[in-house]
Amino acid sequence: MSDQNVRNAGFTSSGISGRSLASSMMSHEARSSGGGVHSGGPTSTLQEMGARGTTHSSGFTSSGISSGSRASHMMSEEARSHGGGTPRGSTTSTVQSI
């Protein structure tokens, strides 16, 4: 994942850009969870990366998820909680796709 992709999606150091993929994700996530965006979810994870201005240490790369990384840990936790797979639309799959 590149820093530019995260910024282009609307996750920036000054917050989520209006009328962006980020704002759409935030709105959808808030509606589906009853009004809030949960810590550790796709929106908050990507915004954290955008606020820091770097994705390099996260483990989400263009060639897949790096072994032993934060991304690898996230994927493993999600797979365990969903019976062995990482579901489409999950935090890991959403962040990896961006």
Q: Is the pTM of this model over 0.85?
A: no
pLDDT beyond 70 at 3: yes
pLDDT beyond 80 at 55: no
Number of C-alpha atoms within 13 angstroms, CB side, residue 75? Answer: 18
Average pLDDT over residues 66-79: 90
What is the band of 40 on the pLDDT scale with cuts at 50, 70, 90? confident
Q: What is the mean pLDDT of the chain?
A: 89
Within the chain, strands assigned E span 11-12, 15-16, 60-61, 64-65
